[in-house]
Amino acid sequence: QVQPVESGGGSVQAGGSLRLSCAASGYTGSSNCMAWFRQAPGKEREGVAIIFTGSGNTDYADSVKGRFTISQDNAKNTVYLQMNSLKPEDTAMYYCAAEGGERLYGGSYYYGWFFGYWGQGTQVTVSS
């Protein structure tokens, strides 16, 4: 069972930067990809960035492309989200998720992959 734990959230001014970390405990060897999601109050949860663990290939939501970078450190079993040029509309709870898990217990699809292992989230607030 994979247990992602996020950290690194906080409050910053517009134009600032934050780096989120996702430490995934437990066995993650069977996860084909990891992803970051976010959810703002009153809005749907959306995928932000994905990384395919084997190849290192990445993709991003159009709203963050060019500003955010997802990366991985396999030795530390950790995934990062570097967020630059932050905007107020980036304000949300950010969640790290790992591909896999039991669909019966819920989860989300992103790029056709099922993400069933979720962290508790870390809050990012960007002020004007």
Q: Which two tokens stand for residue 120?
A: 């508790």
Along the 128 residues of the chain, how does pLDDT read in single tens digits? 789 999 999 999 999 999 999 998 876 667 889 999 999 999 999 999 999 988 999 999 999 999 999 999 988 889 999 999 999 999 999 999 999 988 888 899 999 999 999 999 999 999 99
Q: Around Cβ 43, how many Cβ atoms within 10 Å? A: 9
Hey, is 26 helix, strand or coil?
coil
Whether the CB-CB separation of 123 and 49 falls below 8 Å is answered with: no
